[in-house]
Amino acid sequence: MNEKTTKEIAELAKILKESNQIVFFGGAGVSTASGVPDFRSSNGLYSQKLNRNFTPEQAVSHSFFMRYPEEFYAFYKTYLVYPKAQPNDCHKALAQLESMGKLKAIVTQNIDGLHQAAGSKKVYELHGSVHRNYCMKCHAFYDAQYVLDALGIPKCTECGAVVKPDVVLYEEGLDDDTVTGAIRAISQADTLIIGGTSLIVYPAAGLINYFRGKKLVLINKSTTSADHKADLVINEDIAMIMKKAVAQMDKNL
């Protein structure tokens, strides 16, 4: 680890130590170390040319789901659900910060449920979760494994209707209660850490504009549109950075 990164970790640890109302806003880069691909990176899923007559964006749209449910589920189960993924050092560090009483909420664009798996309690999932699936008719609940095990289109055992993932597809709006909670958390934060996101997915990325606190930290491998606003920008692996910063902060408490 070079001297620059060492200094950045020390500065982040100091910010964490001095903050009591931290909110973390995260994207796909938070889960890449867990084996969940970053769809929008240069080698991510959305950059791949699939050997099919539709684009990945079309495949996860509401209209595609309604019109071609079998093709939707073939794509969804292959590319969007990772049942073997485990929380990485970033997820664990954030859960540790929450248990210390420092971190008040996580606002995530991810749908993998890894923050909860790591032990985080207050998580606003802007784009839903693969772990929640509901019958479109009677609203019976089904877990991710039920969907993965289904042949073709998963159907409700109660009424026979199609089961839909509680995931925000293209052409669908974000959940109002989730957005309201996320805005409240961000607006009350004294420190906002933005991690693993390029901040190009709206309306989610626009939520950071509600931050009125003291310290804005950006941790992402590439530059973002909010870098110029940040008090600290770290272009390194977020799992490593968060693990070391929390460990260093914890020692100095």
Residues with a known catalytic role: 127
Q: How confident is the model at residue 250 (pLDDT cuts 50, 70, 90)?
A: confident
State the pLDDT at residue 38: 73
Would you say domain 3-36+87-127+173-252 falls under CATH 3.40.50.1220?
yes
Structure-model confidence comparison of residues 203 and 208, the more confident one: 208
Domain residue extents for the chain:
3-36+87-127+173-252, 37-81+132-167
Tens of pLDDT, residues 15-73 = 999 999 999 999 999 999 999 987 654 455 554 555 556 777 888 899 999 999 999 99
Tens of pLDDT, residues 85-108 = 999 999 999 999 999 999 999 999
Residue range 144-162: average pLDDT? 97
What DSSP letter does each residue of the chain carry, written as one string?
--HHHHHHHHHHHHHHHH-SSEEEEE-GGGTGGGT---TTSTTSGGGS--SSSS-HHHHTBHHHHHH-HHHHHHHHHHHT--TT----HHHHHHHHHHHTT-EEEEEE---S-HHHHHT---EEETTEEEEEEEETTT--EE-HHHHHHSSSS-B-TTT-PBEEEEE--BT-PPPHHHHHHHHHHHHH-SEEEEES--S-STTGGGGGGG--SSEEEEE-SS--TTGGG-SEEE-S-HHHHHHHHHHHHHHH-
Q: How confident is the model at residue 252 (pLDDT cuts 50, 70, 90)?
A: low
Neighbouring-strand partners of residue 106: 24, 123
What does residue 24 show for φ and ψ, rounded to 5 degrees?
A: -110, 130
Residue 114 tokens read as: 């890894």
Residue 228 tokens read as: 């110029």
One-letter amino acid of 140: A
Tens of pLDDT, residues 206-223 = 999 999 999 999 999 999
Residue range 116-143: average pLDDT? 98
pTM of the model: 0.92
State the pLDDT at residue 51: 53
For 37-81+132-167, the fitting CATH number among 1.20.1260.10, 3.10.129.10, 3.30.1600.10, 3.40.800.20 is 3.30.1600.10
State the pLDDT at residue 59: 85
